[in-house]
Chains A and B, each alone.
Chain A
Amino acid sequence: MSATHQPTPLAKLEQKTIQEIILKGQRIDERGPLDYRPLTITLGIVEKANGSAQVYLGKTKVLAGVKIQTGTPFEDTPNEGILTVNAEFVPLAYPTFETGPPDENSIELARVVDRGIRESKAIDLQKLCIEPGKKVFVVFVDIYILDHDGNLIDAAGMAALGALVNAKMQEFEWKNNEVRYKETKMLLPMQNYPVPITSVKIGNSVIVDPCLEEEQVMNCRLTVTTGKNNDVCAMQKGGLGTFTPEEIKQIISSAIQKSKDLREKIISKVN
Chain B
Amino acid sequence: MTIFAERKQLVGPGDVLAEGPYFAGENTYRDGSKIFSSRVGMAEVIGNKLVVMPFKGAYMPRLDDIVLGRVTDIGMSGWQVDICSPYPAMLPASETPMHRGRDSVRQDLRTIYGVGDLMIAQVIAFDRTRDPLLTTKGRGLGKVSSGLVARITPTKIPRMIGKKGSMITMLKKETGTDIIPGQNGVVLVTGGNPDQERTAVEAIYMIEREAHTTGLTDRVKAMILERTKGTRVGQ
**CB–CB under 8 A between A and B in the complex?**
no
> Which residues of B does A touch, CB under 8 Å?
none
> Which residues of A does B touch, CB under 8 Å?
none
